[in-house]
Amino acid sequence: MTHLPPALDVSGLEHRYPDGTEALAGVDMRVDAGERVALLGPNGAGKSTLILHLNGIVLPQVGSVTVEGRRLSADTAGEIRARVGLVFQDPDDQLFMTTVYDDVAFGPLNMGLSREEVDARVRFALDAVGLTSAASKPGANLSVGQRRRAALATVIAMGPAILVLDEPTSNLDPRSRREMEALLASLEVTLIVATHDMDVAWRLCERAVVLDAGRVVADGAVRDLLSDEALMVGHGLELPPAVAARSSL
Amino acid sequence: MALDHDAGRHQLHGHEHAHADEPEHRHPHHHDPSGTHDHAHAMGFERHAYLVSPVHDLDPRFKVVMALTLAVAAAGGPPLRAAEFLALCALLAAVAVIAKLPLGWALTRSLAVLPFALGIAAFAPLARADALEWPAIVRAYSEGHPIVWSIASKAWVSASAALLLVATTPLPRLFKALASLRVPDTLLTMLTFLYRFTDVFSRQVVSMRRAIAARAPRMRPIALATVYGGLAGNLLVRAYERGERVHAAMLSRGYTGTLPSPEPFRARSSDWVALATIVMASAASILY
């Protein structure tokens, strides 16, 4: 059997903002191909900063990020961005072109693909998120749920091996939230989901990593961690409602 | 309906169609499996950009050149004489009629340039006054009224040409045309973002104004002005932060400093005919 390198290997990662705030204080995290990992933690725990490191928007100051065996640096950031797709929390940040079609085509065009290949990828991605009929709309004309899915399509079209999402279900009504969850579950990629939505973490992911004050404070099976009231509450989180209801019986 | 689109269902395409309460229009769209499509029917100045007409049909690159030709011809020459002005008006009106634009709407929109033009025109005769004394100033104005007319009429003709261009071209297409006419990338990126984020920011302004109204329903003008100053500063900070996040999102998708090159346009004979007409009309108005 061949031994594949892990999809993602974060080792001793530290980050300090220019004002001196320490955002990451030595993060170690290893994710294998095909895993679905929930990244949990209170506001200010360093989740967003960690996410920005995963495809080289921010480069490591101390420590390293390795994607599929390739170490992240200024030289490799370009290739790694095509492998690690980042979906930002606010879809208005991600939909910056004049139409949804152009937004989804933006990544593939930057990859230097032919017009036909780009068109095929845009169609595939819009079909995957159920927005084929909205291709010619400006991003601004979509509902919040549609915008979220369009933002996801912009990344799917690049064919990434690892998908990293920042709060994919925040501000969504229950139906849009269910749709987003089902959509994410249907994707065959390595998934890292930063979320405060414990339900989504519970149902979508097998594994959870809890981040607090820039450090990994727990890493294990999602059902073990999310049932551990002391751990959850101790780090500013909560039990999923279903678990809380069961334990109060 | 679903049948004849079956083959091209997933292909981006456009065809004339009309909905209840709306004139015939066309825009690129995909059909979903049910054979329907959603609409991007724009508001404001883009309201008529998706109508179907020979003017809408022209290659947007040619339309840009035509509008520029008209504007340069009108603005570059000597003051417009009445006949010239009327001829240009007739030409502009003819284009508006062929484009099925409501004339009242087009006229109102084009007049929006006058406050700016008249603002400049009102002071222009002063440049002729040899001294800043009343007799000299009065003389300058009594001799200088042709300058006021000249500036206002040229500004209006130029603005109308630009209006006809923008009103008959969906902005995404117009930006693509500008890109293939080699307009600098930075400028285009700015235009694209202006178009995309105006709405986002106006929503933020609305919600901030509501927040102000909720906490300060009856405010004196000066206090209100202070609060709005704060609002403007707040918006600037938000815009800057948004810019940083959008930039991160662009980098994430492989942005290296240039927007992806647009699909090529293909000029047809009708585009050349229209361009030739405008160029000849402009030349005639200059040589006349």
Chain A residue with the nearest C-alpha to that of B247: A93
User: Contacts of residue A135 in chain B, CB cutoff 8 Å?
Assistant: 12, 28-30
- For every residue of chain B, which 3-state class applies, written as one string? CCCCCCCCCCCCECCCECCCCCCCECCCECCCCCCCCCCCCCCHHHCCCCECCHHHHCCHHHHHHHHHHHHHHHHHCCCCCHHHHHHHHHHHHHHHHHCCCCHHHHHHHHHCCHHHHHHHHCCHHHHHCCCCCHHHHHHHHHHHHHHHHHHHHHHHHHHHHHHHHHHCCCHHHHHHHHHHCCCCHHHHHHHHHHHHHHHHHHHHHHHHHHHHHHHCCCCCHHHHHHHHHHHHHHHHHHHHHHHHHHHHHHHHCCCCCCCCCCCCCCCCHHHHHHHHHHHHHHHHHHHC
- Cβ proximity of A55 and A80 under 8 Å: yes
Quick one: pLDDT band at residue B46, thresholds 50, 70, 90?
confident
B76-135 pLDDT, tens per residue? 878 888 888 999 999 999 999 999 999 998 999 899 888 888 888 888 888 777 777 888
d(CA B150, CA B138): 19
- Residue B281's pLDDT is 87
CB nearest A52 (choices: B10, B40, B248): B248
Question: How many angstroms separate the Cα of A14 from the Cα of each of A11, B26, B114?
Answer: 9, 54, 59
Question: What token pair was written down for B128?
Answer: 């002729």
Q: Is A90 helix (H, G, I), strand (E, B) or coil?
A: coil
Chain B residue with the nearest C-alpha to that of A106: B260
- 8 Å CB contact of B175 and A106: no
Q: In B, residues 226-245, which contact A (CB 8 Å cutoff)?
A: 242, 245
d(CA A195, CA A192): 10
Cα B263 to the chain's mean position, in Å?
22
Question: What token pair was written down for B207?
Answer: 């919600």
Shortest distance, CA A67 to any CA of chain B (angstroms): 15
Question: How many angstroms separate the Cα of B186 from the Cα of each of A35, B92, B113, B191?
Answer: 40, 32, 26, 9
Quick one: pLDDT band at residue B22, thresholds 50, 70, 90?
low
Q: Does B264 touch chain A (CB under 8 A)?
A: no
d(CA A7, CA A80): 11
Q: Where are the beta strands (DSSP E) in chain A?
A: 8-16, 22-31, 36-40, 62-67, 70-71, 84-87, 162-166, 190-194, 207-212, 215-221
Quick one: pLDDT band at residue B224, thresholds 50, 70, 90?
confident
B199-215 pLDDT, tens per residue? 888 888 888 888 888 88
More reliable by pLDDT, A55 or B39: A55
Question: How many angstroms separate the Cα of B159 from the Cα of each of A239, B156, B177, B253?
Answer: 62, 5, 19, 38
Chain A to chain B, count of Cβ pairs less than 8 Å apart? Answer: 112
Phi, psi dihedrals of residue B13, rounded to the nearest 5°: -155, 170
- Cβ proximity of A216 and A190 under 8 Å: no
Q: No. of H helices and E strands in chain A? A: 11, 10
- Residue B45's pLDDT is 64
- Residue B2's pLDDT is 34
- 8 Å CB contact of A137 and B252: no
Q: What is the mean pLDDT of chain A?
A: 92
- Cβ proximity of A136 and B234 under 8 Å: no
Quick one: pLDDT band at residue B40, thresholds 50, 70, 90?
very low
In one-letter notation, the amino acid at residue A105 is: A
CA-angle at B92, arms to B167 and B107, nearest 5°: 60
- Residue B3's pLDDT is 32
A70-108 pLDDT, tens per residue? 999 999 999 999 999 999 999 999 999 988 999 999 999
- 8 Å CB contact of A127 and B251: no
Shortest distance, CA B123 to any CA of chain A (angstroms): 40
More reliable by pLDDT, B141 or A81: A81
- Residue A104's pLDDT is 95
Chain B residue with the nearest C-alpha to that of A160: B253
CB nearest B36 (choices: A78, A82, A133): A133
Quick one: pLDDT band at residue B23, thresholds 50, 70, 90?
low
Q: In A, residues 140-199, which contact B (CB 8 Å cutoff)?
A: 140-141, 154-155, 158
d(CA B132, CA A38): 75
- 8 Å CB contact of B248 and A95: no
Q: Does A111 touch chain B (CB under 8 A)?
A: yes
Question: What token pair was written down for B216?
Answer: 């300060």
Question: Percent of chain A at pLDDT above 70?
Answer: 98
CB nearest A136 (choices: B27, B193, B195): B27
Chain B residue with the nearest C-alpha to that of A137: B40
CB nearest A115 (choices: B197, B242, B263): B263
DSSP label at A34? T
